[in-house]
Chains A and B, each alone.
Chain A
Amino acid sequence: MNKIVFTGPMGAGKTTAIATVSDVPPIYTEVKATDAEVQQRKETTTVSMDYGYIVLEDNTRVHLYGTPGQERFSYMWPILTEGALGLVLLLDNANDDPIADLRFYLDAFSDFIEKTGVVIGITRCDISQKYSIADYQAVMMEHNLVFPLFEIDPREANDVKVLLHALLAILQY
């Protein structure tokens, strides 16, 4: 089964990305956020998973799973990456410290990334230009990782497809 997992901090656009490209109505497990800090940014949050799938040009069906972002749901991460081909990591450029977020998720998913691969999408670049692709690339170099990085808008189907194709391309090698 072709399965790809979207992860990254809360608000980076995982749920949006899956909904944007899914060929079926996506399955959400969104509930209302009760922390004031989260409520400021959005009303709901994913507590279990997102799911959808996309049929690619060559007719392969790729199943898309999204994780909850917050660390308290980290027990869902190994459950969702089980048997997956690779990881899409979304980072919110307008977050407090997206560079720390990059380090955190590379570390949390390091075993899985080592076995498979990752592509990184930097979101909300229209809201904040705090960091550039080069800044994120520098962190990747520190970790001796060479994987694709893109600025994307998860509300744009083409942007999300670029990530999926890049991931599938690197996984072929």
Chain B
Amino acid sequence: MLTDAKKQELEQTLKGLLEQADVIDAAVVVTVDGHLQAMAQKQDYPLERVAAMGSSFMSLGDTITAELKMGVCRNIISENESGIIVFMHINDSMILVSMTTDTSALGLLLSHSRIHAQKMQNML
């Protein structure tokens, strides 16, 4: 588990992500076993539950990727009627889940999330 100082650092990075990419509505950092570590949001999402679900989803992504021998699962994209959710590893114990209600913003969501995941990887 992370220290409170590290969690605050992560939270600052998530805030930065939401500021830089205006279309991103919320982002969370969660451990691979489903514990919420940090979050930032512009609306009121049930992020505690989303965090646990993110870990289930990421593990299925990793499992199917391994089953098909496709190397490392880079990210999982969930494109929906009124939004997009992206799941990606920060390192082998942390996951970033980020989301937008702008259904045309996949590229932006992916690229900014990736950059910030990298930042947080270096930080941890």
Contact = CB atoms under 8 A, between A and B. Distances in A.
Q: Do A and B associate with each other? A: yes
Of A30, A47, A76, the most chain B CB neighbours within 10 A belong to: A47
Contacts of B55: 31, 47
Interface string A1-44: 00000000000000000000000000111111111101000000
B63 A48 contact: yes
B9 interface: no
Contact of B32 (A28, A31, A36, A38): A31
Contacts of B31: 34
Contact of A34 (B52, B62, B93): B93
Interface stretch (A67-75, A139-147, A156-164): A67-75
Contacts, number: 52
Interface string A115-146: 00000000000000000000000000000000
A45 B33 contact: yes
B33 to A, nearest CB: 5
Contacts of A33: 33
A48 B35 contact: no
B76 interface: no
B78 interface: no
A50 to B, nearest CB: 10
Interface in B48-98: 49, 52-53, 55-57, 59-60, 62-63, 67, 92-93
A34 B56 contact: no
Interface residues of A, number: 20
A29 B56 CA distance: 8
A58 B60 CA distance: 32
B63 A27 contact: yes
A28 B56 contact: no
Given A28-B63, A29-B56, A29-B63, A72 B34 contact: yes
Interface of B: 1, 31-35, 49, 52-53, 55-57, 59-60, 62-63, 67, 92-93
Interface of A: 27-36, 38, 45, 47-48, 68, 70, 72-73, 75-76
When A and B form their complex, which 3 residue pairs have the shortest distance between CB atoms, in order from nearest?
A: A29-B59, A31-B32, A48-B56
